[in-house]
Structure 1
Amino acid sequence: MAVQEATGIPALVSRESPLESARFGRSIERLTVPEGADDSLSEVRDAASGSAADIVILRYPADRVDWFARLLATPGRDAIFADCLMYWRLRAGAGRRPEPAALRTSGVTGTDVVRSLVADIFHAYGNHYLANPLLDPADALAGYQEWALRFVREDSCVTLRDEETDDILGLATLDETEFRTEILLAGVVSRAQGRGLYAHLLKGIEDRTLARGAAEIEISTQAHNVRVQRAWARYGFEPLRALITVHLVQTSLMCADVGC
């Protein structure tokens, strides 16, 4: 989830998600409670109950620890807990850079190359869609591929390459504004994992951020992905915020799929 969805809106916002709806064959809306908003749980439940969407993907600040138990009583909706999204931040220039190596970062072209890289890097990633029995994990991975291709077209995708062979060892897609870089997808290909290469990918992103004069870098993942969060901590990132993800599904659909 891009950071502006969590922090760049002033109040409770519900919006249709046509790409997700088309991908999964279910009508999907996203309902986001931004950090610091005064929205009450009753407003959130009313918005979800009044929605005609099959699935409402709700995100709200994790400090509202009493909400989920009460979301279970949302009229016409079944609540599925779909993990917690953890955000981390680095001040550009403060990263703990790895020792120099025969590696470089550069752009990427070629639709098939990007699809293959995303499929390899993220095939086992436990994203929030996997919590919902109505959604096909293969469709979720296809969504990540489409997402990555969008940023390739915008020249906001970088690869980590072996300088000698030019082999692609890692991939990252970036949402870049004047003041910050948000890393949306980032990882090392399966054959090269466990060799400390992820830090070099982060270094390349930090260099790119500094070169264009931006001040900070943000990144997020599901709370269960502890391994990558350790890598961020080693590099110098610090935890920033946490958002709970809940899927509010039409009760009739859940009954039809898993039985009532």
Structure 2
Amino acid sequence: MGPREVTAVPAARTLASPLETARFGRPVERLTVCGENDPPFPAVRAAILESAADVIVLRYPAERVDWFAKLLTTGRTVLLADSLVHWRLAVGRGRGAPPAPGLWTGALGDPEAAGALVGEIFAGYRNHYAADPLFDACDLRECYADWTRGPVAAGGCLALYGPGPGEGESRVIGLATVADDGPATEILLAGVVPGERGRNRYAHLLAAVEDRARARGGTEVVISTQGHNTGVQRAWARYGFEPVRTLFTVHLVRRGLIPSS
């Protein structure tokens, strides 16, 4: 449910995050150590020391439990900003969703409509930005609207349609944005509007993504969310997804930027 990673690099180096830099009006960089061919901590520390960014958003494997204390030696203020849990589904193993009258899925190519819908779906949701007082003015609805534009423009937005207010009418009640990377299809954002929750609507979205992955010859669907978002993880488990890894998220803030009182 969360946005796609800005970068996942095999070597330890920070990369600029232009969207976040523009959004928050201060230099933001990212570094993701994804658990495959991990660089050792000294290399990560060196990359952090070389960066002049106000904020580095670092993600690293949760099993590196000793890293947090070591990050305190970088000279930056270290903020714990939740975790990111990754799940995976082998295409063809999803449990699907029973047919429901009036429900169907199709492409959504209107960025403004998708942005407004995702703002409604994620209203009140809190991600890692909430841990950082430098980002406290962030309107997450606008962030999520921004994150839909690229996938919509690339044809990677699936909408779930349901009965509308009038007879014979339909309306969009959910969406999923996706990106393909080799054999994997990643779900970037997915959800249904509040009034349609608890009715198995979400499973129809997952089934549509799995069908799309199968049609293009893909072998797996991957998705991630904040660790605290246990409700959606239960839905993934019911559908057939399995957890594969957890990354800690920390913000490394240049010393002196956060007021002491």
CA distance in 1, matches of 2:10, 2:51: 21
1:247 aligns with 2:246: no
Cα separation, partners in 2 of 1:148 and 1:252, compared to 1, 3 Å: same
Structure-2 residue corresponding to 1:216: 220
Q: What is the TM-score normalised by the length of structure 1?
A: 0.92
Residue 87 of structure 2 corresponds to 88
CA distance in structure 1 between the aligned counterparts of 2:186 and 2:38, rounded to whole angstroms: 26
Amino acid at match of 1:85: L
Displacement of 1:138: 3.5
Q: Which residue of the partner structure matches residue 2 of structure 1?
A: 4
Match of 1:145 in 2: 145
Q: CA deviation at 1:37?
A: 2.7
Structure 2: gaps (5+ residues): none
Number of residue pairs matched?
254
SS at match of 1:252: coil
**Structure 2 CA distance for partners of 1:166 and 1:208, relative to 1, 3 Å:** same
> Which AA in structure 2 matches 1:199?
A
Residue 230 of structure 1 aligns to a residue whose secondary structure is helix
Cα deviation for residue 69 of structure 1 reads: 2.0
Q: Which runs of 5+ in 1 are unaligned?
A: none
Aligned ranges 1:156-167 → 2 under 5 Å: 156-162=156-162, 164-167=168-171
The aligned amino acid for 2:15 is R
Counterparts of 1:1-260 in structure 2 under 5 Å?
2=4, 5-6=7-8, 9-75=9-75, 77-102=76-101, 103-136=103-136, 138-162=138-162, 164-255=168-259, 258-259=260-261
Do the aligned partners of 1:181 and 1:214 also contact (CA within 8 Å) in 2? yes
Matched letter for residue 216 of structure 1: E
In the alignment, the residues of structure 2 paired with residue 61 and residue 149 of structure 1 have an alpha-carbon distance, to the nearest angstrom, of: 29
Q: For 1:33 and 1:59, how far apart are their aligned partners in 2?
A: 6
Aligned pair in 2 of structure 1 residues 3, 30: CA closer, same or farther (>3 Å)?
closer
Whether the aligned pair in 2 keeps the contact of 1:104 and 1:204 (CA below 8 Å) is no
Q: TM-score, normalised by structure 2?
A: 0.92
